[in-house]
Amino acid sequence: MSGKLSKRLWGFVIIVTILLAYIIPYTVLSDVHAWYGSFLFWGIAGLIIILANIVLTRDWRE
């Protein structure tokens, strides 16, 4: 049961991260005119997505 809850939690993390990757740069960071404003956020969001995918797929078997 806890494995199922963990997978749902990581799935929720992926969904929230994807939504924030669209919302934050176009709202909060819209006044930042330097390239590193949204690029840094998207880089961190990408790392979170990669980590979540590793956690979700580490138990897959053939």
3-class DSSP state for residue 5? Answer: helix
Positive or negative, the CA dihedral 7, 9, 10, 14 is positive
The two structure tokens encoding residue 62: 């053939």
- Residue 45: count of CB within 10 angstroms of its CB: 19
Nearest to 10 by CA among 42, 58, 44: 58
Residue 1 has pLDDT above 70, yes or no: no
pLDDT given at position 62: 57
pLDDT tens for residues 9-52? 888 988 999 899 888 888 887 787 777 777 888 889 999 999 98
The model carries a pTM of 0.73
Tokens encoding 26: 């176009």
